[in-house]
Amino acid sequence: MVCPDAVGRGRSEWLRDPMHYVVPQYVADMVTLVARLNAQSVHWVGTSMGGLIGISLAGLADSPISRLVINDVGPRLDAAALVRIGSYVGKPIRFADLEQAIDYVSAVAAPFGLRTREEWREIAEPALRRDGVEWVLHYDPLIAVPFGSVTPQAAAAGEAATWKLYDSIRCPTLITRGADSDLLSRETAEEMTAADRTRGWSSSQVSDTRRCSSTTTRSRSCAIFYCRDETHDHQASTQRSAHEPGGGLQRHGVPCRAGRR
Protein backbone atom coordinates (compact mmCIF):
# COMPACT_ATOMS: atom_id res chain seq x y z
CA MET A 1 0.00 0.00 0.00
CA VAL A 2 1.32 3.43 -0.98
CA CYS A 3 -0.02 6.58 0.69
CA PRO A 4 1.28 9.63 -1.20
CA ASP A 5 1.57 13.15 0.16
CA ALA A 6 0.27 15.44 -2.58
CA VAL A 7 2.55 18.36 -3.43
CA GLY A 8 2.38 21.12 -0.85
CA ARG A 9 1.45 18.72 1.92
CA GLY A 10 3.27 16.57 4.43
CA ARG A 11 6.78 15.61 3.33
CA SER A 12 6.26 16.64 -0.28
CA GLU A 13 7.77 19.76 -1.80
CA TRP A 14 6.01 23.11 -2.09
CA LEU A 15 5.39 24.61 -5.52
CA ARG A 16 6.73 27.98 -6.62
CA ASP A 17 3.49 28.82 -8.38
CA PRO A 18 0.56 28.11 -6.02
CA MET A 19 -1.89 28.17 -8.94
CA HIS A 20 -0.68 24.62 -9.69
CA TYR A 21 -2.30 23.38 -6.48
CA VAL A 22 -5.24 21.98 -8.44
CA VAL A 23 -6.64 18.52 -9.16
CA PRO A 24 -5.27 18.24 -12.75
CA GLN A 25 -1.76 18.74 -11.38
CA TYR A 26 -2.31 16.16 -8.65
CA VAL A 27 -3.60 13.69 -11.25
CA ALA A 28 -0.51 14.23 -13.41
CA ASP A 29 1.68 13.59 -10.37
CA MET A 30 -0.19 10.38 -9.54
CA VAL A 31 0.16 9.15 -13.12
CA THR A 32 3.91 9.61 -12.72
CA LEU A 33 3.88 7.87 -9.33
CA VAL A 34 1.98 4.84 -10.64
CA ALA A 35 4.43 4.58 -13.55
CA ARG A 36 7.40 4.76 -11.15
CA LEU A 37 5.83 1.97 -9.09
CA ASN A 38 5.83 -0.16 -12.25
CA ALA A 39 2.24 -1.11 -11.45
CA GLN A 40 0.09 -2.40 -14.29
CA SER A 41 -3.10 -1.76 -12.30
CA VAL A 42 -4.00 -0.34 -8.90
CA HIS A 43 -6.87 -0.25 -6.44
CA TRP A 44 -7.51 3.33 -5.37
CA VAL A 45 -9.10 4.50 -2.10
CA GLY A 46 -9.62 8.25 -1.96
CA THR A 47 -11.17 10.54 0.66
CA SER A 48 -12.16 14.13 -0.15
CA MET A 49 -9.43 15.50 -2.45
CA GLY A 50 -8.07 11.97 -2.85
CA GLY A 51 -11.49 10.90 -4.10
CA LEU A 52 -11.54 13.70 -6.68
CA ILE A 53 -8.09 12.63 -7.86
CA GLY A 54 -9.35 9.05 -8.09
CA ILE A 55 -12.41 10.07 -10.13
CA SER A 56 -10.25 12.10 -12.50
CA LEU A 57 -7.69 9.31 -12.93
CA ALA A 58 -10.22 6.49 -13.24
CA GLY A 59 -12.14 8.47 -15.86
CA LEU A 60 -9.17 8.69 -18.21
CA ALA A 61 -8.78 6.35 -21.16
CA ASP A 62 -6.56 3.35 -20.31
CA SER A 63 -6.65 4.25 -16.62
CA PRO A 64 -4.50 2.06 -14.36
CA ILE A 65 -7.27 2.00 -11.72
CA SER A 66 -9.01 -1.39 -11.69
CA ARG A 67 -10.96 -0.89 -8.43
CA LEU A 68 -12.07 2.44 -6.95
CA VAL A 69 -13.41 3.57 -3.58
CA ILE A 70 -14.73 7.16 -3.48
CA ASN A 71 -15.12 8.24 0.13
CA ASP A 72 -17.28 11.22 1.07
CA VAL A 73 -16.84 13.29 -2.06
CA GLY A 74 -18.36 13.61 -5.50
CA PRO A 75 -18.46 15.75 -8.63
CA ARG A 76 -20.73 18.24 -6.87
CA LEU A 77 -19.48 19.68 -3.57
CA ASP A 78 -21.89 21.16 -1.05
CA ALA A 79 -21.58 24.95 -0.88
CA ALA A 80 -21.77 25.11 2.93
CA ALA A 81 -18.82 22.74 3.23
CA LEU A 82 -16.77 24.83 0.81
CA VAL A 83 -17.47 27.93 2.89
CA ARG A 84 -16.40 26.06 6.03
CA ILE A 85 -13.18 24.82 4.42
CA GLY A 86 -12.43 28.26 3.00
CA SER A 87 -12.73 29.79 6.47
CA TYR A 88 -9.59 28.05 7.71
CA VAL A 89 -7.51 26.56 4.91
CA GLY A 90 -4.24 28.41 4.33
CA LYS A 91 -4.56 30.64 7.39
CA PRO A 92 -1.11 31.30 9.01
CA ILE A 93 -2.07 29.91 12.41
CA ARG A 94 0.53 28.97 15.04
CA PHE A 95 0.05 26.98 18.23
CA ALA A 96 1.92 27.21 21.52
CA ASP A 97 1.77 23.45 22.06
CA LEU A 98 0.39 20.26 20.57
CA GLU A 99 -2.71 20.23 22.76
CA GLN A 100 -3.72 23.68 21.54
CA ALA A 101 -3.27 22.49 17.96
CA ILE A 102 -5.47 19.45 18.56
CA ASP A 103 -8.14 21.74 20.04
CA TYR A 104 -8.07 23.81 16.83
CA VAL A 105 -8.24 20.82 14.48
CA SER A 106 -11.13 19.29 16.44
CA ALA A 107 -13.02 22.61 16.14
CA VAL A 108 -12.56 23.31 12.42
CA ALA A 109 -12.99 19.64 11.48
CA ALA A 110 -15.97 19.03 13.75
CA PRO A 111 -18.03 17.56 10.85
CA PHE A 112 -15.64 14.58 10.88
CA GLY A 113 -17.72 13.43 13.85
CA LEU A 114 -14.91 11.97 15.96
CA ARG A 115 -15.84 11.37 19.58
CA THR A 116 -12.77 11.05 21.77
CA ARG A 117 -9.64 13.11 22.37
CA GLU A 118 -7.48 10.21 21.26
CA GLU A 119 -9.33 9.96 17.94
CA TRP A 120 -8.71 13.66 17.32
CA ARG A 121 -5.06 13.24 18.31
CA GLU A 122 -4.61 10.43 15.79
CA ILE A 123 -6.08 12.57 13.02
CA ALA A 124 -4.37 15.83 14.03
CA GLU A 125 -0.77 14.86 14.78
CA PRO A 126 0.19 13.85 11.20
CA ALA A 127 -1.26 17.17 9.98
CA LEU A 128 1.05 19.19 12.27
CA ARG A 129 4.77 19.90 12.49
CA ARG A 130 7.10 21.70 14.87
CA ASP A 131 8.40 25.10 13.83
CA GLY A 132 10.84 26.19 16.51
CA VAL A 133 9.02 26.06 19.83
CA GLU A 134 5.59 26.28 18.19
CA TRP A 135 3.42 24.02 16.04
CA VAL A 136 2.01 24.77 12.59
CA LEU A 137 -0.14 22.93 10.08
CA HIS A 138 1.90 20.59 7.88
CA TYR A 139 1.15 22.09 4.47
CA ASP A 140 1.98 25.06 2.28
CA PRO A 141 -0.45 27.86 3.27
CA LEU A 142 -0.55 28.89 -0.39
CA ILE A 143 -2.61 25.82 -1.30
CA ALA A 144 -5.53 28.16 -0.51
CA VAL A 145 -4.69 30.51 -3.40
CA PRO A 146 -6.47 28.56 -6.20
CA PHE A 147 -9.33 27.72 -3.83
CA GLY A 148 -9.93 31.38 -3.09
CA SER A 149 -9.72 32.48 -6.72
CA VAL A 150 -12.43 30.19 -8.11
CA THR A 151 -15.28 32.06 -9.78
CA PRO A 152 -18.84 30.69 -10.03
CA GLN A 153 -18.28 30.14 -13.74
CA ALA A 154 -15.06 28.22 -13.13
CA ALA A 155 -16.73 26.15 -10.40
CA ALA A 156 -19.58 25.21 -12.74
CA ALA A 157 -17.14 24.24 -15.50
CA GLY A 158 -15.11 22.17 -13.05
CA GLU A 159 -18.20 20.34 -11.83
CA ALA A 160 -19.30 19.57 -15.40
CA ALA A 161 -15.83 18.24 -16.24
CA THR A 162 -15.78 16.06 -13.13
CA TRP A 163 -19.20 14.59 -13.94
CA LYS A 164 -17.94 13.77 -17.43
CA LEU A 165 -14.91 11.97 -15.99
CA TYR A 166 -17.12 10.21 -13.45
CA ASP A 167 -19.43 8.95 -16.21
CA SER A 168 -16.37 7.61 -18.06
CA ILE A 169 -15.31 5.34 -15.18
CA ARG A 170 -15.52 1.67 -16.15
CA CYS A 171 -13.97 -0.09 -13.15
CA PRO A 172 -15.98 -1.49 -10.20
CA THR A 173 -16.60 1.39 -7.79
CA LEU A 174 -17.77 1.77 -4.19
CA ILE A 175 -19.09 5.12 -2.93
CA THR A 176 -19.29 5.81 0.80
CA ARG A 177 -20.51 8.82 2.78
CA GLY A 178 -21.21 9.76 6.37
CA ALA A 179 -24.92 10.14 7.02
CA ASP A 180 -24.51 13.78 8.04
CA SER A 181 -21.70 14.70 5.64
CA ASP A 182 -21.57 18.38 4.77
CA LEU A 183 -19.38 17.79 1.70
CA LEU A 184 -21.14 14.99 -0.18
CA SER A 185 -24.89 15.52 0.06
CA ARG A 186 -27.37 12.66 0.05
CA GLU A 187 -28.80 14.02 -3.22
CA THR A 188 -25.43 14.00 -4.97
CA ALA A 189 -24.66 10.50 -3.69
CA GLU A 190 -28.00 9.28 -5.02
CA GLU A 191 -27.30 10.92 -8.37
CA MET A 192 -23.89 9.23 -8.47
CA THR A 193 -25.48 5.83 -7.85
CA ALA A 194 -28.47 6.23 -10.16
CA ALA A 195 -29.12 3.11 -12.25
CA ASP A 196 -28.32 4.83 -15.54
CA ARG A 197 -24.86 5.80 -14.24
CA THR A 198 -23.50 3.00 -12.12
CA ARG A 199 -23.41 -0.18 -14.19
CA GLY A 200 -23.83 -2.31 -11.07
CA TRP A 201 -21.65 -0.26 -8.69
CA SER A 202 -22.34 -0.30 -4.97
CA SER A 203 -22.74 2.40 -2.36
CA SER A 204 -22.68 2.57 1.43
CA GLN A 205 -23.81 5.15 3.97
CA VAL A 206 -22.26 5.09 7.44
CA SER A 207 -24.97 6.19 9.85
CA ASP A 208 -22.90 6.78 13.01
CA THR A 209 -20.61 9.47 11.64
CA ARG A 210 -20.84 12.85 9.99
CA ARG A 211 -18.04 12.29 7.50
CA CYS A 212 -16.21 9.08 6.66
CA SER A 213 -12.99 10.88 7.47
CA SER A 214 -10.63 8.21 8.67
CA THR A 215 -10.90 5.41 6.11
CA THR A 216 -7.67 6.43 4.44
CA THR A 217 -4.40 6.58 6.31
CA ARG A 218 -4.21 9.37 8.85
CA SER A 219 -3.47 12.72 7.17
CA ARG A 220 -3.15 11.40 3.62
CA SER A 221 -6.18 11.63 1.40
CA CYS A 222 -5.61 8.57 -0.77
CA ALA A 223 -4.14 5.11 -0.67
CA ILE A 224 -2.97 3.07 -3.66
CA PHE A 225 -3.01 -0.72 -3.41
CA TYR A 226 -0.97 -2.55 -6.01
CA CYS A 227 1.04 -5.68 -6.75
CA ARG A 228 4.18 -5.51 -8.81
CA ASP A 229 4.36 -7.45 -12.04
CA GLU A 230 6.37 -10.67 -11.70
CA THR A 231 8.77 -9.39 -14.34
CA HIS A 232 9.67 -6.35 -12.22
CA ASP A 233 13.37 -5.85 -11.69
CA HIS A 234 14.56 -8.70 -9.43
CA GLN A 235 17.24 -6.64 -7.76
CA ALA A 236 14.73 -4.03 -6.58
CA SER A 237 12.53 -6.79 -5.17
CA THR A 238 15.46 -8.30 -3.34
CA GLN A 239 16.46 -4.96 -1.84
CA ARG A 240 12.89 -4.32 -0.75
CA SER A 241 12.63 -7.73 0.93
CA ALA A 242 15.84 -7.12 2.81
CA HIS A 243 14.40 -4.03 4.46
CA GLU A 244 10.79 -5.17 4.77
CA PRO A 245 10.58 -8.59 6.48
CA GLY A 246 7.95 -10.86 5.04
CA GLY A 247 7.92 -9.24 1.59
CA GLY A 248 4.54 -9.03 -0.14
CA LEU A 249 2.33 -5.98 -0.09
CA GLN A 250 3.90 -3.21 1.97
CA ARG A 251 2.75 0.17 3.26
CA HIS A 252 4.71 3.30 2.42
CA GLY A 253 4.23 7.01 2.97
CA VAL A 254 5.48 8.61 -0.22
CA PRO A 255 6.54 12.25 -0.58
CA CYS A 256 5.71 13.64 -4.00
CA ARG A 257 8.59 15.51 -5.66
CA ALA A 258 6.97 16.85 -8.78
CA GLY A 259 9.33 19.77 -9.19
CA ARG A 260 9.01 23.39 -8.07
CA ARG A 261 6.69 24.71 -10.79
127: DSSP letter:
G
> Which residues are CB-contacts of 188 (< 8 A; sequence separation ≥ 6)?
74, 75, 76, 78
Per CATH, the number for 2-78+151-255 is 3.40.50.1820
- DSSP lists the bridge partners of residue 69 as 45, 174
Out of 104-108, 210-214, 224-228, pick the least confident.
210-214
Looking at residue 159, its pLDDT comes to 95
| DSSP-assigned states of every residue in 3-46 | EEEPTTBTTSPPPSSGGG-SHHHHHHHHHHHHHHTT-S-EEEEE
DSSP three-state, residue 62: coil
Burial label, 1 (beta-carbon count in 10 A; 0-12, 13-18, 19+): middle
Residue ranges covered by each domain of the chain: 2-78+151-255
The torsion angles phi and psi of 111, rounded to 5 degrees, stand at -60, -10
Plot region of 87 (φ>0 → left; ψ -120 to 50 → alpha; else → beta)? alpha
What digits encode the pLDDT tens for the residues 26-52? 999 999 999 999 999 999 999 999 999
| pLDDT-based confidence at residue 201 (cuts at 50, 70, 90) | low
Give the type of residue at 35. A
Looking at residue 235, its pLDDT comes to 37
